[in-house]
Amino acid sequence: MKSYLEKIHNNEYIIHSSYNKGTIINSDGSNTKFITNEPFIYNSDIVNPVLSVIYDDGKKEKVGMEHINDIGIVNFRDLGGYVNDEGRQVRYQTLYRSAVINPTGESLERFLELDIKTIVDLRSTWEVKAEPDGVFENINYLHEPAMLEMENLKDLKQGLNMEELEKLMGVMDLKEYLLKSYKKLALNNKSYRTMFSLLLKNETPLVFHCSAGKDRTGVAAALILLALGVDEEQIKHDYLLSNKYRQEFIEEVAKRHNSSLEEAQSIGGVLIESLENVFSSIKEKYPNYNEFFKAEYDLGSSELRILKDKYTY
């Protein structure tokens, strides 16, 4: 899987990689030696630094943050770094996935340093009403509900949020509901069509999100990575990272319902079978992903080429 940068404290970082050691080529021409999976000092005030790295075997790549942990937003991640079918990496600092976006104070200042141009909110109307995003000057906000079935739940309770929905339906019922919903998410989805249109228009850096940054957001991320030529195994890896960055929420759900962590993961985190439902729903209807993107999102070979040229290097 891809190498990634983790900020430990202030200017202390770790590069996680399958390689043993390497050299960072700094913008001023100087070098910084590092041993992978061990802390090193890197002086940078950038909230989301991207490093040019040469490993000792000669391999070169960009290494950036997987999870942006300085901005007070749950599960806020950079899609950059994955390698596509042409050997190119998805561009860092351009495509982000997230949970609800409402940072304050110093976290807000750090968030604004990302220079986000567009926010695509995939939540239902009642979720937005219960917990709206912050209002940010010079950031274009679009509300594009990705799961229309959830729009129909709005009458259950005014201002209903996901925790209350979980209580109403129970862990197992909500799990089944979400699994079935995944089968439909990638098909005839206006919100994802809007998202791809924005990418073609270069309305980036762009962040797309839902309530927890894992389900509707996870499918959106999967579709973007597929369009950029990233294989299913790497996409599954990205999808399952929500369990890593939402571990405390999974534990809270388990405690609340006296259920196992595996059961709670279906609500507080993600299950791989959910994403596999997305892949299977596409393959049941289309012979390949190119046909799928053309029919569902009006992305022909030329549009897919444009996306690869814009968002990989």
pLDDT digits (tens, 9 = 90+) for 222-259: 999 999 999 999 999 999 999 999 998 889 888 887 88
pLDDT < 70 regions, the chain: 149-175, 177-178
Contact 217, 100 (CB under 8 A): no
For residue 28, with 0-12 CB atoms within 10 Å meaning exposed, 13-18 middle and 19 or more buried, which class applies? Answer: exposed
pLDDT at 311: 99
Q: What confidence tens digit (pLDDT) does each residue in 108-134 have? A: 999 999 999 999 999 999 899 999 999
Q: Return d(Cα 141, Cα 146) in angstroms, integer.
A: 15
pLDDT at 175: 66
**Residue indicated by tokens 């197992």:** 172
Nearest to 81 by CA among 2, 134, 189, 17: 2
Phi, psi at residue 6, to the nearest 5°? -125, 130
DSSP string over 82-93? -BBTTSPBBPTT
- Number of Cβ within a 10 Å radius of residue 118: 19
Percent of the chain with pLDDT over 90: 77
